[in-house]
């Protein structure tokens, strides 16, 4: 059974509203809808979409809207959610509103749960839950809601809609509102960044050796286990595998990242506050010691993960920006956020699992040596048999 049909508003030849710098509503709606759907899938819901690409069902607006409702009805979805962004003749119009067909019933409850969650998260003016005879609310056979995130014609809100961090907040808030409406607890998915050490120092060092890391990389493992738990509650194994990935196990292949090397004491490619090109060594921070560089690395991971007390003033992290706080609570979420590639987080998870599964061989203890006094009375011959490696005493 399909729990939710999600419908990104507009599409194809219908751009919806357009912002002052040309941002099209259809594109933003699709981005948000796909993010919401993925989040709800991770919560165990079955989701389908009226569109996942830039398309529409018909050039006739009425036929297009009816086709979306029919798609949901044919799917026998339990609920329907339409994602939109608002527009008005007044460029200062602002805020968030969510629609249901009529007061009372599950549609209004769904709209209110989403509205409350979204307003709390993105902190734009609360325009409330409203009621309208929209086709996708009227023609759907299940409880339905339509959310208007904010005003794309407002220059400030259009800028927000260009920001992936903001879109992530929107999607999470909508998904959490849906889960609250359903009476289900929100489950954290993925591999947490914060938490106790998920592997030992000995495992980390053996894993590094097996990957032919230079001795300097192996020797730095204890610093991660010393700094990460005490300073930020970060799992040191997570930080250590990121160190490996970002530096190619500390440049074991003879290549340096963006022209920097171990003398930078920069374990994760942190740039200066001003930043710059990825291939510009001057855009990357040079720390005075490995302790300072690793502390900066831990602080940067901790602020991403939303660690308590972060952001903090006493940090060597040059890019300790408040707007990234809580942006990625799991290793998987670092993909597309810490690094551009969506697969970045999955790569780190794969490396982390290999580290956690590394077996450390216990050294075989040497037998204790004992001094033996030998007292022989009478005539005898003593010789050592080199081949048998035996001491032979003949009386």
CATH of domain 201-356: 1.10.530.10
Q: How far is CA 157 from CA 18, 71, 85, 257, 258, in A?
A: 12, 31, 10, 37, 35
From first to last of its 395 residues, what are the pLDDT tens digits of the chain?
899 999 999 999 999 999 999 999 999 999 999 989 988 988 889 999 999 999 999 999 999 999 999 999 999 999 999 999 999 999 999 999 999 999 999 999 999 999 999 999 899 999 999 999 999 999 999 999 999 999 999 999 999 999 877 888 899 899 999 999 999 988 767 899 988 899 999 999 999 999 999 999 999 999 999 999 999 999 999 999 999 999 988 887 665 666 788 899 999 999 999 988 888 889 899 999 999 999 999 999 999 998 888 999 999 999 999 999 988 989 999 988 898 887 899 899 999 999 999 999 765 555 565 665 656 666 666 666 666 666 666 66
Considering the chain, tell me which residue range(s) the CATH 3.40.630.40 domain(s) occupy: 4-182
pLDDT tens-digit readout, 157-214: 999 999 877 888 899 899 999 999 999 988 767 899 988 899 999 999 999 999 999 9
> Which DSSP string corresponds to 98-142?
EEESSSSHHHHHHHHHHHHHHHHHH---EEEEEE---HHHHS-SS
Residues marked active site are found at 148
Nearest to 317 by CA among 337, 295, 339: 295
Q: Which CATH architecture has domain 4-182?
A: 3-Layer(aba) Sandwich (3.40)
Enumerate the CATH 1.10.530.10 domain ranges in the chain, comma separated: 201-356
Residue 119 CA to residue 124 CA, distance in Å, equals 6
Query: What CA–CA distance (Å, rounded) separates 321 from 325?
Result: 7
The SS3 call for residue 34 is helix
Q: Which of 157, 153, 181 is nearest to 167 (CA)?
A: 157
Residue with tokens 């929100």: 186
Nearest to residue 154, comparing CAs of 84, 86, 82? 86
Q: Are 160 and 139 in contact (CB under 8 A)?
A: no
């Amino acid at each position: 059974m399909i729990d939710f049909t999600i419908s990104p508003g507009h599409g194809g030849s219908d751009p919806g509203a357009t912002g002052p710098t040309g941002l099209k509503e259809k594109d933003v709606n699709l981005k948000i809808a796909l993010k919401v759907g993925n989040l709800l899938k991770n919560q165990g819901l079955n989701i389908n979409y009226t569109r996942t690409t830039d398309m529409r069902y018909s050039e006739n607006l009425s036929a297009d809207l009816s086709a979306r409702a029919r798609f949901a009805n044919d799917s026998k979805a339990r609920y329907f959610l339409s994602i939109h962004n608002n527009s008005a003749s007044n460029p200062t119009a602002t805020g968030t509103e969510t629609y249901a067909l009529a007061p009372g019933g599950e549609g209004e409850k769904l709209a209110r749960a989403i509205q409350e969650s979204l307003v709390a998260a993105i902190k734009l003016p609360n325009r409330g839950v409203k009621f309208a005879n929209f086709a996708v609310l009227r023609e759907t056979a299940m409880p339905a809601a339509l959310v208007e995130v904010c005003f794309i014609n407002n220059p400030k809100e259009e800028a927000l809609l260009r920001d992936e961090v903001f879109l992530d907040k929107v999607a999470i808030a909508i998904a959490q509102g849906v889960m609250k409406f359903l009476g289900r607890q929100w489950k954290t998915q993925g591999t947490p960044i914060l938490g106790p050490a998920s592997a030992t120092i000995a495992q980390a060092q053996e894993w590094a050796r097996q990957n032919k890391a230079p001795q300097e990389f192996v020797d730095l493992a204890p610093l991660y286990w010393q700094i990460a738990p005490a300073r930020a509650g970060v799992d040191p194994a997570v930080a250590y595998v990121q160190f490996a990935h970002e530096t190619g196990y500390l440049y074991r292949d003879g290549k340096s990242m963006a022209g920097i090397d171990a003398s930078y004491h920069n374990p994760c490619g942190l740039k200066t506050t001003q930043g710059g090109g990825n291939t510009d060594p001057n855009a990357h921070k040079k720390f005075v010691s490995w302790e300072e560089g690793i502390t900066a690395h831990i602080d940067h991971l901790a602020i991403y993960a939303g660690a308590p007390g972060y952001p903090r003033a006493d940090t060597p992290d040059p890019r300790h920006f408040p707007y990234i706080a809580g942006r990625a609570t799991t290793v998987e979420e670092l993909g597309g956020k810490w690094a551009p590639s969506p697969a970045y987080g999955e790569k780190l998870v794969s490396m982390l699992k290999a580290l956690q599964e590394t077996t450390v061989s216990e050294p075989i203890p040497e037998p204790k040596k004992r001094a033996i006094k030998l007292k022989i009375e009478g005539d005898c011959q003593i010789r050592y048999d080199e081949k048998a490696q035996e001491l032979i005493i003949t009386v």
